[in-house]
Amino acid sequence: MASLAEKRHTLAHLLAKAVLERHPNALLTLGPAVDDGFYYDIDFGAEKISDADLPELEKAMRKHLPGWKEFSREEVSPDEARTRFANNPYKLELVNEIAARGEPVTLYTAGSTAQSSKLQAPSSSFTDLCRGGHAKHPAADIAPDSFALDRIAGAYWRGDEAKPMLTRIYGLAFDTKEELDAYRAQREEAKKRDHRKLGAELDLFVISELVGAGLPLFTPKGTLLRDLISDFLWELNKAKGYEKVDIPHLAKPDLYKVSGHYDKYKDDGFQVHGRDKHFMLKPMNCPHHTQIYASRARSYRDLPIRYFDITKVYRDEQSGELMGLSRVLSITQDDGHVFCRPDQIGEEVARVVSIIKDFYSAVGLLKEGSYRARLSVRDPGTPEKYLGDPAVWDVAEKRLEEIGKEHGLALTRGEGEAAFYGPKLDFMFKDAIGREWQLATIQLDFVQPERFQLEYTDDTGSKARPVMIHRAISGSLERFLSVMIEHYAGAFPLWLSPEQVRVLPVSEKHAAYAAEVAAALMAADIRAEADDANESLGKKIRAGKQDKVPYLLVVGDKEAGAKTVTAESRDHGKLEGLPLAALIERLAKEISERA
């Protein structure tokens, strides 16, 4: 039976066949499988197509699918391939690259007979330049109701803005119709939870064209939300022995040349030129932290040393990839670095795992079956991407895998997902609608200490290299906030809500008592406001619910006379005739427990 990735790749070929049937002059480029289906990038020339054309293309795909009984593979010479694709500059570019690498040039044909591509092909057959990875028997392997064409977008050839703009046709594909329907339902729910929409409705952040895309501005409510998360992160890290440090937002390029970040980020970094100085906005914080460590002699008794820093890094992402808080140019990291002896690695990683579990438990993502850890290691096929001695990498990868197993983490392996200086444990969490996000990370690094010649004096009086552990709990604070907004659909738990309580006077004559209640709540360090708008109580309640305030307190004659409140909790229902002191005690407990 074909894998889902093979089915999706096959459907990209089937889409290309349907396109050429209706648009014979279209130039095909690349059509890979992706996480939720497939796409094909196509140059339609002067022709224009839109989403309105997708139903007919989808219909054509289903028409041809029964005739695609199997695929045949044919290896051809580069010259034969150039002849076959003489009128397609995109395929010629690919053929030349394949030939330059010394790899075989292969053509795959599917259709009613799937014979050699040199023969006259039947009407349902289709041949494409491809390295393989298809369903062997598409008609049998692919359910005709398990896929659908989704949308049309623009895409530059090879992702390069200097190259032609192509038309990208996206398709969705799953093993069954039920899975396809479930995915579509999840996506509709995701639209309702879109953090950009909710961020505007709840007045959390602003994207200004004058400031620039990818540079979000946080309102008072949004800044409070950031601070609540930042303060909690510091609380957890401080309890585990971390100390705060502070670093500038730029440095000489020399710092990043030593660390290796310059070569990796020189095209994605921001260069800053002063009167007679050249700096780079920091793409990472770890090189700065190495220099704090290196500023004085260290003994084995001093280790581990743990630095904590919530600060921004800057990367020049492509404009088309910027989106709300999910992908930004100024990235706030809750960054931490541990400098320790090799024998302390296990204990220090355990310390970070403990922080991760406490943090994600409080934000509602640490649930049975809703998270996993990925052991991110090197891609053995591209050793040139990684710094340091391969033997040292072997040790680091093995040690991190052992630690993960010691802590009962169900590890999956991610080849090619390592940082360029070391392997990682990446923590993946599912949100309320089942989407998975990579958030926290722990990275084991033997390379940076070597490149910066970091040292400590061991218990024999000899010089030794510390090990560096990089760790981030929330990852990017902006991206984490986008996940939280969508996970909760803007209805944050009480401890995390910018506005925790709204007091609603029934009429103007109850405004004084409403103000008194709000003042008492604020004195107890509970974020509260009194709604003194000249509106009906019904409108005030609707506004409070629309703003997703956790507690709405109604005060009228009865409440003012008895010095009580009637509370409507978003999560716990209605509470009538509650003494104010009892409410404050209840709320304070709920906030302190981060329930």
DSSP 3-state helix, strand, coil percentages of the chain (rounded to 5)? Answer: 40, 25, 35
Angle between the 477-487 and 220-239 helix axes, to the nearest 10 degrees? 110
> Does the structure show a pLDDT above 70 at 58?
yes
Close Cβ partners of 187 (under 8 Å, ≥ 6 residues apart):
none
Give the span between the Cα atoms of 263 and 421, in whole angstroms: 13
Close Cβ partners of 384 (under 8 Å, ≥ 6 residues apart):
none
**What are 359's two structure tokens?**
């943090």
Which residues carry out catalysis? 286, 315, 333, 335, 337, 424, 470
Q: Is 153 contained in some domain? A: yes
Task: Let me know whether 336 and 386 are in one domain.
Answer: yes
Q: Is 261 contained in some domain? A: no
Q: Which range has the worst mean pLDDT, 79-83, 194-198, 210-214, 368-372?
A: 368-372
Residue 7 · residue 141 · CB < 8 Å? yes
User: Which residue would you say has higher pLDDT here, 295 or 116?
Assistant: 295
Domain boundary residue among 457, 487, 517?
487
Mean pLDDT over 120-125 rounds to 58
Give the span between the Cα atoms of 566 and 573, in whole angstroms: 11
pLDDT of 248-271, one tens digit each?
Answer: 999 999 999 999 888 877 788 899
Q: At 399, is the secondary structure helix, strand, or coil? A: helix
Domain count for the chain, please give it.
3
Task: Let me know whether 323 and 439 are in one domain.
Answer: yes
Q: At 350, is the secondary structure helix, strand, or coil? A: helix
For residue 123, the model assigns a pLDDT of 62
Mean pLDDT over 417-438 rounds to 90
Give the span between the Cα atoms of 45 and 493, in whole angstroms: 52
For residue 115, the model assigns a pLDDT of 43
pLDDT of 457-488, one tens digit each?
Answer: 999 999 999 999 999 999 999 999 999 999 99
Q: Is 211 contained in some domain? A: no
Bridge partners for 312 per DSSP: 332
Task: Let me know whether 483 and 506 are in one domain.
Answer: no
Average pLDDT, the chain: 92
The b/e string for 181-198 (b: 16+ C-beta within 10 A; e otherwise) is eebeeeeeeeeebebbeb
Which one-letter DSSP state was computed for residue 66?
Answer: G
Q: Is 324 contained in some domain? A: yes
Token pair 């929409």 is found at 197
Give the span between the Cα atoms of 328 and 195, in whole angstroms: 14
pLDDT of 171-192, one tens digit each?
Answer: 999 999 999 999 999 999 999 9
Token pair 């950031």 is found at 226
Mean pLDDT over 504-509 rounds to 94
Give the span between the Cα atoms of 534 and 5, in whole angstroms: 59
Task: Let me know whether 483 and 501 are in one domain.
Answer: no
CATH number at residue 586: 3.40.50.800
Mean pLDDT over 93-118 rounds to 81
By the 10 Å C-beta count (0-12 exposed, 13-18 middle, 19+ buried), 426 is classed as: buried
Close Cβ partners of 349 (under 8 Å, ≥ 6 residues apart):
400, 403, 407, 425, 442, 444, 469
Task: Let me know whether 103 and 58 are in one domain.
Answer: yes
Task: Let me know whether 482 and 512 are in one domain.
Answer: no
Bridge partners for 342 per DSSP: none
Q: Is 205 contained in some domain? A: no
CATH number at residue 400: 3.30.930.10
- The kind and range of the H/E element at 338 are strand 330-340
Q: Is 258 contained in some domain? A: no
For residue 120, the model assigns a pLDDT of 40
Residue 298 · residue 265 · CB < 8 Å? no
Task: Let me know whether 231 and 297 are in one domain.
Answer: yes
**Domain boundaries, position 384:** 216-250+283-465+478-487
User: pLDDT over 70 for what percent of the chain?
Assistant: 98
Residue 75 · residue 65 · CB < 8 Å? no
For residue 388, the model assigns a pLDDT of 81
> Does the structure show a pLDDT above 90 at 522?
yes
Task: Let me know whether 519 and 543 are in one domain.
Answer: yes
Give the span between the Cα atoms of 531 and 94, in whole angstroms: 64
Task: Let me know whether 86 and 134 are in one domain.
Answer: yes
Task: Let me know whether 236 and 319 are in one domain.
Answer: yes
Give the span between the Cα atoms of 523 and 501, in whole angstroms: 13
pLDDT of 436-455, one tens digit each?
Answer: 999 999 999 988 999 999 99
Give the span between the Cα atoms of 393 and 377, in whole angstroms: 9
Q: Is 259 contained in some domain? A: no
Task: Let me know whether 55 and 173 are in one domain.
Answer: yes
Q: Is 272 contained in some domain? A: no
Give the span between the Cα atoms of 283 and 250, in whole angstroms: 9
Q: Which residue pairs, CB below 8 angstroms and at least 24 apart, start in 577-585?
A: 580/517, 580/520, 583/553, 584/520, 584/521, 584/524, 584/526
Q: Which range has the worst mean pLDDT, 14-23, 54-63, 247-256, 401-410?
A: 401-410
Task: Let me know whether 457 and 566 are in one domain.
Answer: no
Residue 79 · residue 98 · CB < 8 Å? no
pLDDT of 26-53, one tens digit each?
Answer: 999 999 999 999 999 999 999 989 999 9
Given pLDDT bands bounded at 50, 70 and 90, which one contains residue 112? Answer: low
- The kind and range of the H/E element at 153 are strand 147-156
- CB count within 10 Å of CB 484 equals 22
CATH number at residue 63: 3.30.980.10
> Does the structure show a pLDDT above 50 at 117?
no
For residue 121, the model assigns a pLDDT of 43
Describe the strand order of the beta sheet including 105-111 as a list of residue ranges. 70-76, 105-111, 126-129
**Closest to 503 (Cα-Cα) out of 470, 476, 532:** 532
